[in-house]
Amino acid sequence: MSAAPTRPLTLGFDADDTLWHNENIFEKVHVRYRDLLARYHDAATVDRTLFATEMRNLELYGYGVKGFTLSSIETAIQLTAGQISAEEINQIITLGQEMLAHPVDLLDGVVETLSSLSGTHRLLVITKGDLRDQERKLARSGLADHFQHVEILSEKDERSYDAIFRRHAIDPRRFLMVGNSLKSDILPVLALGGSGVHVPYHLTWAAERVEHPPRAAGRFFEIQSVRDLPAVLTTWSAGL
């Protein structure tokens, strides 16, 4: 009697700042936003107040450009004691619209790496943010055909990853998550018995920062480029 076939390894990929650039777009808008409010407050006060507003509104708006734009308007009204003009508010709205229309700029090595892995592994996109915006970016990226499933979540935590594992019959021990955020991409997966590859991006939103890297020998890896992922897969799979 022949042995049952082994299920293929499953790889999850974050999208923003893992497959394509994203945080650099936000950073450029932050500069323009600070300039808009410069006659009212210094840059540090603007940044601190905007971040606090974003965190307060996450439960209402979720992640993404639309929530950021609404929080930016709210912050501007607060910091100017209601003196901000309709024209200035319109400038903030325009910044948000420009972000949504921004071209998708893939990170180096993404196309080649996905092409080499999609034939031998089950690949998923697991990202969070605004549904319409993330769907639009994936379509524009030209990467959609590499993935068997796409998961766009309101939050990336243990509960949401566990639901994905159940939905797609994924054994966490044979799952590897690839992403730039330790908090959202790596730590919840490790807690569920999976593995993770951290690919740091040069900018990290304050809400995603983690003070110390996790300790999970044989299940946690860090690389500087997605081009290094195949070598990590060889090491990781050898230990399964």
Residue 174 near residue 10, CB atoms below 8 Å: yes
**Which of 126, 129, 183, 134 has its CA nearest to residue 160?**
126
pLDDT at 3 over 70: no
The mean per-residue pLDDT over the stretch 76-98 comes to 98
The torsion of the CA quartet 146, 149, 155, 161, rounded to 10 degrees, works out to -110
Residue indicated by tokens 């319409």: 132
Angle between the N-to-C axes of helices 23-36 and 43-61, in degrees from 0 to 180, rounded to the nearest 10: 120
User: CB–CB of 174/193 below 8 Å?
Assistant: no
Question: Domain limits of the chain?
Answer: 10-20+106-238, 23-100
Task: Give the per-residue pLDDT at 8.
Answer: 78
Residue 4 has pLDDT above 90, yes or no: no
Name the helix (H) or strand (E) containing 14: none
Residue of higher predicted confidence among 74 and 5:
74
193 C-beta neighbours (distance < 10 Å), count: 14
Mean pLDDT, range 224-228, rounded to an integer: 97
211-221 pLDDT tens trace:
888 989 899 99
pLDDT at 2 over 60: no
CA distance 21 to 202: 10
What six digits make up the tokens of 186? 């790596």
CATH fold of 10-20+106-238 reads Rossmann fold (3.40.50)
Predicted pLDDT of residue 211: 86
pLDDT digit string (tens) for 181-200?
Answer: 999 999 999 999 999 999 99
Tell me: pLDDT of 239 over 90: no
Topology adopted by domain 23-100: DNA polymerase; domain 1 (1.10.150)
pLDDT at 7: 65
